[in-house]
Structure 1
Amino acid sequence: MTNPAASAGSARSQENRRQLIAEHVVEHGTVTVSWLAEVTGVSVMTVHRDLDALAGRGVLRRFRGGVSALPTSVFESNLDYRLGVHVPEKEAVALAAAELVEPGMSVMLDDSTSVLALARLLPAKAPLTVLTNARRVLEVFAGCEEIRLIALGGEYSLTHDSFLGVPCVEAIESMSVDLVLVSTSAMNARMTFHQEQDVVLVKRAMLGSGARTALLMDHSKVARTALHRLCPVADFDHVVVDDGAGPELLAELREHTDVRVAPAARAKE
């Protein structure tokens, strides 16, 4: 007969090991299977089973002999990885984008890490009405008395820690707001992109619900493409980027929309 306590302990041990593996991959970006087996003290076959489970959750991406949390044109990185990269740039972009928000406005925020950085600045802009599909953005405003908070529900995505799908799109399409602020995973001088069609559909619905729209991008996402086209750069009223973006790209962007360049050093002061 199976011992329930032993089974529960084994499951906890497995989940702890998988969490450790995920943390190592997020920290290093790309690692080998053999290295993970060494640091976790289990067999290569056990690591392969753990990686299959983590890849199924969208936490990481497998390739022959290794695993990665880095984005590609068809794979968006897990939220935990994105939260730890280009932080000063995202904070600078958020600081510049906050200037677009005025007390009394209704604003819609997506589930990107750049917009999460912005959300942390917005209680100072209260009173506001905030609409979002991002769980962590909801946590920022929960308990803020002068913030009217509206959650845009749908199917929960572990990769993005947010709500997506048809119910979310329908909730968004029933709303009309003063300002929509989003980010995405890639852009060039003319077009914006994302790897996942469910995310594209939600972002498009958001952009269609705003009287004004703003795109927040750190320079690591520019001069890149991804599988799905989101919308032309010209569809945004404002694009906010950090000063790591090249002057030629900035000049091209300014042919299509208002561009605001955020000095990254401001976020470090």
Structure 2
Amino acid sequence: MSITLINLLNYITWNVDPEIFSIGPLSVRWYGLLFALAFIFGQRILTKIYVAEGRTEGDVDVITLYMIIGTVIGARLGHTLFYSPEYYLSNPIEILKIWEGGLASHGATIGILFALWLFSRKQKFDYMWVLDRIVIVVALGGALIRLGNLMNSEIIGHQTTVPWAFLFERLGENPTVPRHPTQLYESLSVFFLFVLLYWLWKKYKSALPKGLLFGIFVTALFTFRFLVEFLKEDQVAKEATMTLNIGQILSIPLILIGLFILIKVWQNPKPALPGGRLEENSKA
């Protein structure tokens, strides 16, 4: 690992090895560790939230399983279908090679939403109550995963002269140029979002209007994602000819959904029933 402060008025040299250690053919990488920690920390925090609102640790165990499956499948399918559909549809077996990399946050979002809908339907939970609480830990998980991208020296920004620019030595560029550390921008922004959402829940708990936390999360997360994309290098070649890149196009409907939910909350603030119980006579 090498992080050298060459000159704070110029740039920061970043030369972190993505691999922490290896034993024979087995290697442990920063990205994998941070991905796992996202679920471990998330489960602990969600357990605290659920128990405080009258649910059980068993509920958290079940929802964690749904979350893991929804995140991995959604993120992988999102990458293959949103960014390189021609290749993966022609080579469908490659979709299964998740160890080779390629996960998309927008796909993960869709996968999580669908998985939690299944969870809520099966376990008789209020879907929006579930979403309002899960976004707290999803925000923390997103911050950790973007740190994993930084450790991999991937999803980099455009060349820049800002004093906090990173010189990613492992890119092998010649000459190497300082770039925006867009992974760090996203990680910090989502961490602050986590702090805000957790504080709101801690202060108001079940008195929160249903949909407020989810609306704030989706609107803030994907608005920032839309803006930071202007600082990023293209993820795939076809984005070079696009006015907005794929990440921005996929963010727009999610921003609109978040705004729609916030408007509905403002017009008719309605707390969920204690413990996320379904309203009488409502369908699961």
TM-score range, shorter chain: under 0.3
Q: Larger % of helix: which? A: 2
Q: TM-score, normalization: structure 1? A: 0.26
Q: TM-score, normalization: structure 2? A: 0.25
Higher relative contact order (CA 8 A, sep 6+): 2
